[in-house]
Amino acid sequence: MSISLAAFGQKDQKDKVLIGVIGGSGLYHLNNLKELKEVNPETPWGRPSSPIKICALPSGTQIAFLTRHGQGHTIPPSSVPFRANIAALKSLGVKAIIAFSAVGSLREEIAPGSFVLPNQIIDRTKGIRPSSFFEGTSVVAHASFGDPFSNKLVKWLEERVGKVLAEKTEGIQLFTEKCILCMEGPQFSTRAESLMYRQWGADIINMSVLPEAKLAREAEISYGLICTSTDYDAWRPHSDTVTAAEVIKTLHGNAETSRVVAATILDDLHAAISTDAGKALLLEEVGSMQYSIMPRSHKQKGEDRKKLGYVLPEYFTEEDE
């Protein structure tokens, strides 16, 4: 006898899009999942990098997939519409984002092809990327960012991603608790910079984790980054420095593995965050902006509060008007 999920009141939960996946360089689709439809929300910060694909996991659970640099990789890191991307995902109901990124390695042991789950970030962007939903409004907020990734989600991922790599690949290694440095680009680093970043304690380098992680935090969305290493940047004294061609060589294989990882772990993640215990554990950002927003004053403009209501409806409601 087949029992419908609706009979258990679960249909709604299954049809909700709770997980967003952001694909980085090389990861432009999840074609191992069934694509159901595309949506392209117009947010107060414009439209996302590309239409968002709503895909079904093997169980039928829906997730949202967004490619960071656009289909055809037409958007450089400094011009990614990060605010529109995070706002669009939030508008779909997304509570947790698993983002993928192609990174350079600043450590010998993190060989190209390795996976890395960072837990810290050093910011070397140049202040030219809008990095807060509150920027340009009359409302001020200071989100906590000491732990820039969602620690419990990252711990949860460590176990699952490690298992997938061990069971489904020929020995691809996973490195955890690493520090990622985000540079502005689009040019790669000089040898001197690459050596300096190693001294600072950075283990890997990319151009796109910021402000993505900051905006996810402001939107109270749990955020974890799965990195795939493509090159050794510019710090090795007897090696050539990184080129785009070198990065592109490893992108394809890394993207294939990333698709397997996504298809294997996301059903479990959806199931986990659909329970009260899982919510408490994995959605630790919910409610975190409550004490980050400066108290309401008559100087805050109604139109700004309405705009912020798109991404934080919990704090900026219609009744505000």
Ligand X SMILES: CSC[C@H]1O[C@H](OP(=O)(O)O)[C@H](O)[C@@H]1O
Ligand Y SMILES: Nc1ncnc2[nH]cnc12
Q: Which amino acid is at 1?
A: M
For the CB of residue 133, give the shortest distance to ligand X in the complex, in Å.
21
Is residue 262 near ligand X by the rule CB under 6 A?
no
Name 89's Cβ contacts closer than 8 Å, sequence gap at least 6. 20, 48, 52, 64, 66, 97, 221
Q: Which amino acid is at 130?
A: P
Work out which of 66, 84, 161, 242 binds ligand Y, going by CB under 6 A.
242
State the number of binding residues for ligand X (CB under 6 A): 12
> By CB under 6 A, what part of segment 159-198 binds ligand Y?
183, 188
Residue nearest to ligand X (CB): 24
Is residue 116 near ligand Y by the rule CB under 6 A?
no
Residues designated as active site: 231, 233
The option from ligand Y, ligand X, none interacting with 218 (CB < 5 to 8 A, set by class) reads none
For the CB of residue 139, give the shortest distance to ligand X in the complex, in Å.
30
What CA–CA distances, in Å, run from 169 to 39, 113, 159? 33, 11, 15
Is residue 80 near ligand Y by the rule CB under 6 A?
no
Work out which of 19, 27, 84, 205 binds ligand Y, going by CB under 6 A.
205
Stretch that binds ligand X, among 47-55, 113-121, 203-211, 268-276 (CB under 6 A): 203-211
Neighbours of 212 (CB within 10 A): 25
Question: Can you list the alpha helix ranges (DSSP code H) found in the chain?
Answer: 11-15, 82-91, 151-168, 191-200, 212-218, 244-273, 276-282, 302-309
Stretch that binds ligand X, among 108-116, 117-125, 202-210, 278-286 (CB under 6 A): 202-210
The option from ligand Y, ligand X, none interacting with 242 (CB < 5 to 8 A, set by class) reads ligand Y
- Judged by beta carbon, residue 103 or residue 272, the one nearer ligand Y is 103
Q: For strand 96-105 and strand 62-67, is the pairing parallel, antiparallel, or unpaired?
A: unpaired
The option from ligand Y, ligand X, none interacting with 231 (CB < 5 to 8 A, set by class) reads ligand Y
Work out which of 174, 247, 272, 311 binds ligand X, going by CB under 6 A.
247
Q: What Rg do the C-alpha atoms of the chain give, in angstroms?
A: 20
Name 313's Cβ contacts closer than 8 Å, sequence gap at least 6. none
| Paired strand residues for 21 | 65, 98
DSSP 294: P
Is residue 77 near ligand X by the rule CB under 6 A?
yes
In the stretch 146-185, what mask flags binding to ligand X with x, by CB under 6 A? ----------------------------------------
C-beta of residue 168 within 8 angstroms of C-beta of residue 249: no
Is residue 194 near ligand X by the rule CB under 6 A?
no
Judged on CB neighbours under 10 Å (0-12, 13-18, 19+), 95 is: buried
Instruction: Specify the 3-state DSSP secondary structure of 231.
Output: strand
Work out which of 114, 206, 258, 264 binds ligand Y, going by CB under 6 A.
206
> By CB under 6 A, what part of segment 92-111 binds ligand Y?
102-104
**Interface ranges with ligand X (CB under 6 A):** 24-25, 68-69, 77, 101-102, 206-208, 244, 247
